[in-house]
Amino acid sequence: MDLNQITFEQLIAMDREQALEVFKQCEAPDPQEMRGEFKGLVMDYMRQNFLDYSDDNKKWFGKGYLPETLVEGWQGCGCNIYETKPPIYGATRCLAFVWDIRNSGVDGKPALIMDYTLFDHVSGKMKLIDEVRKVKDGLYIGAYYTPKATYPFTLEDGVAEFFTLRGPVRDWVGYTWVEKLAEK
């Protein structure tokens, strides 16, 4: 499959097996291109499960990445971004992670690995790992998994589900915890 020919619409329409095959063909992104905020969307096959898992007052927008070492041993840090509904309009940046280019838990090849376990929040407690690879300029495929299934978010122990990222769509906005990490 020619990765440069894959459109965003084709990518999100893929089932788990198709997404896994694309993920395996892709390479880790250059860490410096992962600066800013990226628009995310889960694959169609998982969309309803993801909505069932999500908070009614906020919708997942995507992820923010900062390629600066604030935690020893990690190339960068980031967070998830949620659009908030009335009465509070805007965005919430939460569920922090650290990231680095490391070997994938999916296929053993390099990927941008996001580790939530350093943080005391729901994603850290479920031991969530996200991975990202570049499909082509501005389009990325991500995998996420937990050691134990957390239905409806993850369906099987240690088995990856998939999402997409596009961007960056805007600059890194920042988040208070980043300043706290820098102080350590």
**Chunked mean pLDDT (size 10), the chain, 184 residues:** 91 96 98 95 81 66 91 92 72 88 97 93 90 97 92 82 95 66 46
Write down the pTM of the prediction: 0.89
CATH number of the domain located at residue range(s) 3-183 in this protein: 2.40.128.580
Q: What is the pLDDT of residue 179?
A: 47
> Which residue ranges make up each domain of the chain?
3-183
Contact by Cβ (8 Å): 150, 54: no
Which DSSP string do the residues of 97-138 spell out, in sequence order? EEEEEEE-TTTSSEEEEEE-TTSSSHHHHTT-EEEEEEEETT
